[in-house]
Amino acid sequence: MEHTYRYRQLARIILETETPLAIGSGNKDIKTDSVVAKDINELPYIPATTLAGLIRHSLPEELQEYWMGFQKKKDGEGSRIMLSEGKILSADRNPIDGLNLDEDAVTRLCHELPIRQHVRINQQGTAVKNGKFDEEIVPKGVRFCFEIELMAEKDKPGIMDTILSIIQSDGFRIGSGSRSGFGKIEVVGILRRDLDLCVPDELALYLGKSSSLAKAWEGYRPHTPSAAIDPDCILYTLELRPVDFMFFGSGFGDDRSDMTFVREPVVTSWDRGEATVEELERVILIPASSVKGALAHRTAYHYNRLEGVFADKKTAEELEKNTGKENKAVKTLFGSEGDRKGKNKQRGNILFSDVIEKQEASLEKKVLNHVKIDRFTGGAVDGALFSEEVLYASGKTFNLELMLRKTAVDEKDGKIVKAFEAALTDLCKGYLPLGGGVNRGNGTFKGKLNKNGETIYDGYKY
């Protein structure tokens, strides 16, 4: 069937990373296990295929094939929606599309991207074999620009409004690690224009548009972004205050200590002229992956408690069926990588976000020295002296957001949600420390737990 697409709906979107972005290239190098996708300038970019897949998955099923195309044996149809790649903005807020020889604060940062360390911990609190890996990330504050063009037979703007609403929703994440704190974005600007190609002036305007994002088009009109809240999600907000020291390890040491806390740069000052890269000494980072791991283990404990599963009444084989990915609550809420054959995979149903906050003053750091004592001689064990750099943030408040999909939990079986909320409450009570060195007093928090804006536990009163 031949189509005549008389109308064009165009949009230009500027988005900013609220948490780090990790779009893997499938490659690794000498520094990291996973390198982000980069363009001809060796700068990170968002492939159009990534954006197309996210938008298609977010559209209602009855609209996916019509607007995004399909292929069924000999039958098929192309997509009516065209997307460009997402290119980063330079410090002076211009998209870098094409060969770029200039360098500024943003491009210098993107040529030396930070590397995030990860390690998987089992129910005994030790690292899982082959569970250590790292990945290159795009830091918070970097801005990207991309465009959408929609071909339509009728002058109906509804589908473009739907797509823009999807991109602006709280649950829209880009790249990998979206269930571990990565990929949260904020839409900071939208330009739009709807054209009728049968109108000579509008046709001339359309033909004069360049495909390069670096070249401005006079046809665009301002469009006010509007925040969208996913009604299918339960929003948990935790206000946490450290009791004393906290330590989230970077995996590296420096000239002062053997272990340093994780630090990452952020890009700021977009609205005050030229963008700048904030000093590491003024950025506090709480990785969501650390919070996720602790909550998963504590949720498994509370779910087993509600189910009447206790260690002193089960064999080791029976306990294995109630821990980790075998635990029903953990698999439902946090997902599973599947078995050894790669089957029975399940995506997590909770969206986490890294806590990354800029401080006006430099962070209060302290180096703690440790030594292992020989029980027999009372002297130091040879080679057992080490030091760690911890962060003192007592009195500071950190806000952590978690979004749980309602449809993921069985309303008839409320034990999963009860177990999860009990784990969150333990965190606010100080019973569930976060980060490294928790057996040495680090990572204890007190806080308040809110569910959809309503306080369900206030740890400040106790």
Interval 50-95: pLDDT, tens: 999 999 988 888 888 888 888 888 888 888 899 999 999 999 999 9
CA distances from 237 to 11, 134, 378, 448 (A): 33, 28, 48, 8
3-state SS assignment for residue 352: strand
Q: What is the pLDDT of residue 126?
A: 74
The number of CA neighbours under 13 Å toward the Cβ of 234 is 17
Interval 248-299: pLDDT, tens: 988 888 888 888 888 889 999 888 888 999 888 888 899 998 999 899 999 9
Q: Are strands 45-46 and 86-88 parallel, antiparallel or unpaired?
A: antiparallel
In sequence order, which ranges of 7-126 are alpha helices (DSSP H)?
48-58, 61-68, 105-111
Interval 204-256: pLDDT, tens: 999 999 999 999 899 999 988 766 666 678 899 999 999 989 999 888 888 88
Domain borders along the chain are 7-122+131-223, 233-458
Q: Which two structure tokens, joined as six digits, stand for 276?
A: 């700048």
* Residue 130 CA, distance from chain mean position: 23
Instruction: Write out the E strands in 316-379.
Output: 350-352, 355-358, 364-373
Interval 379-426: pLDDT, tens: 888 878 888 889 888 788 999 999 998 888 876 568 999 999 999 999
Paired with 134 in beta bridges are 117
Percentage of residues in the chain having pLDDT higher than 70: 95
Q: Which two structure tokens, joined as six digits, stand for 413?
A: 């079986």
Q: How far apart are CA 20 and CA 176, in angstroms?
A: 10
Q: How far apart are CA 192 and CA 101, in angstroms?
A: 30
Residue 3 has pLDDT above 80, yes or no: no
Q: Looking at residues 358-376, what average pLDDT do you find?
A: 84
Q: Which two structure tokens, joined as six digits, stand for 363?
A: 């962070």
Q: What is the pLDDT of residue 412?
A: 58
Mean pLDDT score of the chain, rounded to an integer? 87
In sequence order, which ranges of 112-269 are alpha helices (DSSP H)?
158-168, 200-207
CA distances from 242 to 281, 351, 395, 459 (A): 18, 23, 7, 12
Interval 135-157: pLDDT, tens: 899 999 999 999 999 988 776 66
